[in-house]
Every structure is written in structure tokens, then in C-alpha cells.
Chain A
Amino acid sequence: MLVIKPGNSGTPWETDVNGTRLAVGLAILGFAQAVSAQPADLPIAPARTDQFPNGFKVIRAKDGQVYATKDGHTLYGMDMRTLIAFGPDPALYCRDECTKVWEPMLAPPGSKPNIAFPRGFGSPPPPAGQAPRPAAAPAASNSDLNPDGLYNTQRAPDWTLIQGASGPQWVYKSWHLVFTRKGDKPGSTAHDGADNLTWNTLKFVPPVPKLTAPQSVAAAYRDGAYILTHKDGRALFTGICRKDCTDWSPLTAPAAGRGLGEWTVSRSGDTPQWLYRGKPVYVGAALDTPAPIPANGKVLRP
């Protein structure tokens, strides 16, 4: 049968094929949004905690850290959002042919599913006399659980359990049904992105560190570790500038400030400036520019 691969081509459904907007209402839109808490082809978000199920570990693969089984087989997530067209419940997609190459990571015996793939207009209209469902307003729910007692995909913890084709199975970040690739060598990530982003290695991004720092400071994950940045995405760095220091603009501190954790205020310069662990902090260019910090600048790490 034809399996339409949204990852390959397809539009958010509330347009018709020519891009003419034909909305079907918030019930569906809510669904569309839920499904897209994060785009299928954007990187996996940082882990909520560094806790994860027994039997899994984190290994270093060629492009960053990934989750793996105890014996080092890389975990793959089957992105259910790319399989909507398969049927009402993409969690059941991997059967027969699929299971020949993909090994589902089943939950420990006796455990119950606590999440399900969100359904939009999944069912026929209500019987006579019953009012049609009201279109859901934005922010329909502020709770972690849906009325059905299952996790709200927007607010679920990192690791949940879903009813898969072979029984209760691990899901990472609400969308990625967890498998390993049969016959793969430990540490291999050969099938990352297979079938138009349906199969992706589960990249491990450590939880965002808790900072005691000025309000203007944030943390960003770069090359396998967190660095300190300006809230607006510009790089922070330290070092000593000998000449043409135009790119060395100080991270300004409140003159009346008393410092904060490892951060102190220096008033010796023209501008009150933050010191981090005693070193003067400067603001560079945006992280995604070719040279965010000057050659002799040093990045700051939490």
C-alpha cells in the first residue's frame, strides 16, 4: 500500500495542496501543534534530566553523544510524526518487514503504557442528539495529563511508554519510538535519518545546567558541551586584548551590583563589567556567525 511520507513531501494539513489555506479548526490545529511540538527534522531537545531507564547508557558516537543499549548498540527513534499517513496510530507501524531489521525496545514486563499518539478527528461523528465537539481553544489544557490519564505530549517526561506493535515500548520525548538496528555494530549510527527522517539516532543532549548568573547570561550546547552565552545568542568570552579591541565589548554589570555566585562586578574600567571567576567577560558576535569570538578570546563554561 502507499505510505505517504510527510518527511518526504506534504504540507501541514490545513492547506489544500496548492497552499490555499483551508483550516479545519482548532481541534485539528491543536492536534497539528501537538504533533509538532518540535519539527521532525529539527535536532532533539536537551534531556530533562540525566536519568534514563535501566539497560540504556550514553555513548560517544562520531557526531556527538547518543543513547545506546548496555552492549553499546545505538538507540534509534522512529519519529511517529512522519508516519501519520500510515494509519490512525503510527505507534503500531513497525510490524512484519519492519521488525526484520528493527528491534523494538520493549518496556520491562508488567509496565503499563502512559502515553499515546495524539488523535485529532480520529473518530466518526457523534450519534444523534449529541452536540458536535466544540473547537478547542488554544492552551486547552494546563495539566501534564490528558483527560484520559495519559501524558500530554507537550509536557511528558523524556521517557514514556506507548502501546507499540509488539507491546509496551519505550518512547523518547513523546515522538521517538525506541528501536535498535538488527545486526548493527556497537556504536554504529549508519541509519541516522533513514527513510526521510523517520529513523533517527537518539542524540543525548545533557540537561541545561542551572545557572547562578546575571539575567543576561544563558547556556548553549556546542560541540558536546555547554558554554555560557548572552541571552540574545551572542557568545561570551574572556581573555586579554592587547590591541584593536573593538570586538571586545564588556558584558556590562550594574554599578550598584554586589555580584552573584561566581560572578563579581569590576568598576575599574569605563563601564562596570562582569567578572566570571575573576576573569573579565566580553560579548562577541552571534554564535551562528563564522567567528563568534576574537582569535585570542576564550569561551566560558559553566
Chain B
Amino acid sequence: MAYDLNRRTALRGMLGGAAVTVGVPLLDCFLDVNGKAMAATGNAMPIRFGTWFWGLGVNPTRWFPTKPGRNYDLPPELAPIAPLQNKISVFGNFNVPLDGAPNLPHVSGGAAVRTGRALTAERGLPGESFDVTIGDRIGSRSRFASLDLSATGDPRNSLSGRGGGNLNPSEISAANLYSRIFGTGFKDPNSASFTPDPQVIARRSVLSGVTEQRQSLERAVGAGDKAKLDQYFTSLRQLENQLDAELTKPEPLQACMVPRKVPGLPVNAEIENVMMSHELMTDLLVMALACDQTRVFNMMFNNGASSLTRIGSTITHHQLTHEEVLDPKLGYQPEATYFLTKIMEAWLYFVTALDKVKEGDGTLLDNTLVFAHSETAFAKFHTIDCMPMMMAGTAGGKIKSGLYVDGAGSPVSRVGLTMMQAMGVPMDRWGAKSMETNKTIGEIMA
């Protein structure tokens, strides 16, 4: 491996000594900055990020909790997540103000959640979607920049892209997905040889250069400013640690093993089929993550204007949301709601699959942040002023899970900003016009 160990240890020794003189408070910072995962070994577990999309929203009065904070209430349509409630956060009352743009049914909402911007006449996305921004930060060196999946068989079903007309197309067949990940080109992370990133080597050399001057500086500064310099260099040392971690061959990934080939499935939008191919894709994705083949993913369960149907029936989920009249006694559309129940079951399967994989002192889910959302609140009227959203996992301890957060009508872009910051994207404000915000969601920041 391309590194001179003796030199590094020597350097460590010297600084280790110096660091002690800095005093206790700083030591805490070591842990806070890098989160739980890194605190364990000097060497970070990979942190992953992904999205899970479903179309046509919810029946808001039957889905959104009412009690903010932990142990939130579970209305009937949210009930399926009960088994993992403590690892799933729910977000309500986050608005999509569209000033300057029309509410394009089934399009504007999802695009706004992903980009913090309102879609105009162009198709595609009004800006870069945050999963791509996060990918640039955490996914650049893994084999796949990201894995984009669609369980309904529509490759164009995607909300991920750099903006403008182009969208990252989705993989629609579990069989293809298998060969893409585990077919030719698959490198077993536990056997593959390791070559560090030249850019990181270069940055590392800058820092070590800077650090070497520490002693001459400390000799030269007065007590008042010495404390400041001490801390400055302690902090610098932290950065070095992170780079060292990136330059060192990673710990073996115990959970990683190559799964069995998967059967080919008919690719269509019949809910029973979609559930199955969603499960197959999920299992493959989970292994791709455990084997660190990718650190970013997008799973589209169904599409915005959902073409889901039931076997033997041809009327689509989307048609139902519009044609089926609200049942005045129930206050919702029973037929359309059937699909929502299936969607929530699928979501639970997805999160559970991630949580089953042990990793470090926790699970794969703990080292991941999954963001689930829809494109409308109440599909019948295309309302987008209360987007249904969830988060699962803690991104290695950077995010608190198991909460209900009431956005009090503030812009949905706060959610994207919070996640990007948690994933280490240097960004202090995000979104455009009424959706521009610098307010993260403090409740969930660890």
C-alpha cells in the first residue's frame, strides 16, 4: 500500500504528545465530528445514503402522526412500520411553495423535494437532486456512483439527476441488476488490492507539511494565542486522521457475500409482481451495500402517476385516486388505499433488510440514511403542501431516528439541506425562492 508507515507513526507520536497539552474539552470533538462509526476504530465504516420513492402520497388524515417527538402515534396507514418505528422518523407539515411555477400534477412535488426548486416548463429536474450532490461527496470512489432501481418496470421512472432534461435511468430487472453487481467486474472488497486516491495523497501531504511546523510556531506564540493554535493543530490532526483512514486498506466487510442468482420475473406494474421484484432488488442492493460496491442508491417503488394495478384488474392506482369518489362515511378512497397499504409493507421490508445485516457494533441500517418520500400529499387534488416523508437509519450516528417532526408549514427544502449536511456536503443554504433555506432540522441532528 502506498504509504510510509514509520513516518506516520513517528508523526503521530509527536502530535499525540502535543495534543495532550491541549486539554480535555477538545478530546470530545474527536468523537462528535466523525460520528459513532469512526469513533470505534480509527477507520470509518462506509456511510451510505439512499432514497425510496413511492407515488400518489397518502390519505393525510390517516397517515400523519399527531404527536411530535419519540413514540409518535401510528395512524392506520402508517401502522405497518410499527416493528421498526424506533428506527424510522416521519416528517409532516413541510410545504412546497411553488412561487413562479404551476403545480404540474405528480411532477412538481417530487422534483421540489429532491432539488429544493419549482419545476418550470422544462421536463426533468429544475436543479441537481440532492442524492447526486451527496453521491459526489461520499460515492465518488465506490464501483457504482449510485444504483438506481425501479420496481414497476419503467426505466424512465427516476427523480435523480444533475438537472435539466437528463435523469439517471433506473434498472428495472432484478436479473440484470444481479449481473451488473455480481457479474463480471465484481471485485470482492475483502480480496481486492487497495490503491489510494491520488488527490487524497496530495491533500495529505499538504496537511503533514503544515503540521510539521507546529513546534516552531508554538515556540513563537504568546500564551493567549497558543491555546488557539493548539486547537487549530489538534483540529488539523483530525483532518489528517480522516485522510489516513481513506489512504489505509479498509477493514474487511464481514457481512459481504455474493448472493445466489435471481430468477427472471415478468416486468410489469401488477402490484403482486412489483412487490416481488422490489424484494429481489432490495436483497441485491443490500448486498451491494454490504460489499461496498456503491454508497448511494435510489429505489423507485412505483411511479408518480402510479401505473400499479392488481392482477386481473386493469384500472391503475392513479386512475383510482381520481375516479374513485371519496367515500363520505370513510372519508377516503378504499380501493386506492389498498395500494398505499402494500407500499408501506414494501417500505418496511426494505428497511428491515438493511437492519438485518450486522456491521461493526450495529447494523447496515445504522451506517445508512434512507430517505423515503412521495410526490403528492393527497393525490386526488394533487396537494403538495404537506409532503409525506420518512427517514430510516442514523448515517453512522449523525442523525437521530424514531421521531415525528412537525415542519409547521416550513419549506420542504429543509429536509434536503439537513440530509446533505449530515452526509458532509459543505452547504449552508439550499433551494430557490420560497424554498431557499438555511434552517436545518435541529430535532434530528445528532
Inter-chain contacts of B125 with A (CB < 8 A): 138-139
Q: What's the minimum C-beta distance from B39 to chain A, rounded to whole angstroms?
A: 41
Q: Which of A23, A131, A137, A139 has the most CB of B within 10 A?
A: A137
Docked Cα-Cα span, A36 to B304, in Å, equals: 21
Q: Which of B295-315 contact A (CB under 8 A)?
A: 303-307, 309, 314
A29 sits at the interface (CB 8 A): yes
What 1/0 mask marks residues of chain A from 122 to 146 whose CB sits below 8 Å from any chain B CB?
0000000001101111111010000
User: CB distance B154 to A37 under 8 Å?
Assistant: no
Residue of A nearest to B156 (CB): A137
Q: Which of B158, B167, B307 has the most CB of A within 10 A?
A: B307
B117 sits at the interface (CB 8 A): no
What 1/0 mask marks residues of chain B from 114 to 156 whose CB sits below 8 Å from any chain A CB?
0000010101110000000000000000000000000011101
Q: What's the minimum C-beta distance from A140 to chain B, rounded to whole angstroms?
A: 5
A150 sits at the interface (CB 8 A): no
Partner of B381, one of A21, A24, A36, A142: A21
Residue of B nearest to A143 (CB): B165
A38 sits at the interface (CB 8 A): yes
Q: Which of A138-188 contact B (CB under 8 A)?
A: 138-140, 142, 154
Partner of A23, one of B105, B124, B314: B105
What 1/0 mask marks residues of chain B from 153 to 180 whose CB sits below 8 Å from any chain A CB?
1101110010001110000000000000
User: CB distance A36 to B318 under 8 Å?
Assistant: no
Residue of B nearest to A26 (CB): B305
B269 sits at the interface (CB 8 A): yes
Q: Would A23 and B322 be within 8 Å (CB), given that A135-B307, A138-B167, A139-B166 are in contact?
A: yes
Partner of B305, one of A21, A22, A25, A142: A25
Place the interface of chain A in its size category. 20 to 34
Could you tell me the dominant secondary structure of chain A's interface residues? loop
Q: What's the minimum C-beta distance from A24 to chain B, rounded to whole angstroms?
A: 8
Docked Cα-Cα span, A26 to B119, in Å, equals: 14
Q: What's the minimum C-beta distance from A93 to chain B, rounded to whole angstroms?
A: 24
B281 sits at the interface (CB 8 A): no
Inter-chain contacts of A137 with B (CB < 8 A): 154, 156-158, 167, 303-304
User: CB distance B303 to A134 under 8 Å?
Assistant: yes
Partner of B107, one of A29, A37, A132: A29
User: CB distance A135 to B381 under 8 Å?
Assistant: no
B316 sits at the interface (CB 8 A): yes
A30 sits at the interface (CB 8 A): yes
Inter-chain contacts of B382 with A (CB < 8 A): 21, 23
Inter-chain contacts of A24 with B (CB < 8 A): 322
B86 sits at the interface (CB 8 A): no
User: CB distance A26 to B121 under 8 Å?
Assistant: no
What 1/0 mask marks residues of chain A from 217 to 248 whose CB sits below 8 Å from any chain B CB?
00000000000000000000000000000000
Q: What's the minimum C-beta distance from B2 to chain A, rounded to whole angstroms?
A: 35
Q: Would A30 and B123 be within 8 Å (CB), given that A135-B305, A142-B166 are in contact?
A: yes
B106 sits at the interface (CB 8 A): yes
Docked Cα-Cα span, A131 to B307, in Å, equals: 11
A14 sits at the interface (CB 8 A): yes
What 1/0 mask marks residues of chain A from 31 to 46 whose CB sits below 8 Å from any chain B CB?
0010011100000000
B104 sits at the interface (CB 8 A): yes
B111 sits at the interface (CB 8 A): yes
Docked Cα-Cα span, A38 to B121, in Å, equals: 8
Docked Cα-Cα span, A154 to B156, in Å, equals: 17
Docked Cα-Cα span, A141 to B122, in Å, equals: 12
User: CB distance A131 to B268 under 8 Å?
Assistant: yes
Inter-chain contacts of B318 with A (CB < 8 A): 23, 25, 135
User: CB distance A21 to B167 under 8 Å?
Assistant: no
Q: What's the minimum C-beta distance from A152 to chain B, rounded to whole angstroms?
A: 10
Inter-chain contacts of A14 with B (CB < 8 A): 105
Inter-chain contacts of B268 with A (CB < 8 A): 131
Q: Which of B167, B269, B303, B305 has the most CB of A within 10 A?
A: B305
Q: What's the minimum C-beta distance from A174 to chain B, rounded to whole angstroms?
A: 13
Partner of A33, one of B104, B158, B304: B104
User: CB distance A132 to B105 under 8 Å?
Assistant: no
Q: What's the minimum C-beta distance from A244 to chain B, rounded to whole angstroms?
A: 33
Inter-chain contacts of B119 with A (CB < 8 A): 138
Q: Which of A131, A136, A139, A140 has the most CB of B within 10 A?
A: A139
A20 sits at the interface (CB 8 A): yes
Q: What's the minimum C-beta distance from A27 to chain B, rounded to whole angstroms?
A: 8
Inter-chain contacts of A26 with B (CB < 8 A): 106-107, 303-305
Partner of B152, one of A37, A134, A138: A134
Q: What's the minimum C-beta distance from A36 to chain B, rounded to whole angstroms?
A: 7
B interface residue numbers (CB < 8 A to A): 103-107, 111, 119, 121, 123-125, 152-154, 156-158, 161, 165-167, 268-269, 303-307, 309, 314, 316, 318-319, 322, 380-382
26 contacts between A and B (CB under 8 A): A20-B381, A21-B105, A22-B322, A23-B305, A23-B318, A25-B305, A26-B106, A26-B107, A38-B121, A131-B268, A132-B307, A132-B314, A134-B153, A134-B303, A134-B307, A135-B303, A135-B306, A137-B158, A138-B107, A138-B123, A138-B124, A138-B304, A139-B125, A139-B166, A142-B165, A154-B165
The 6 closest A-B pairs by CB, nearest first: A139-B124, A23-B105, A137-B156, A25-B305, A135-B305, A139-B123
User: Besides the contacts A29-B104, A134-B153, A137-B157, what 13 more A-B pairs have beta carbons closer than 8 Å?
Assistant: A14-B105, A21-B105, A23-B305, A25-B318, A26-B305, A36-B121, A132-B307, A132-B309, A135-B154, A135-B307, A137-B303, A138-B123, A138-B304
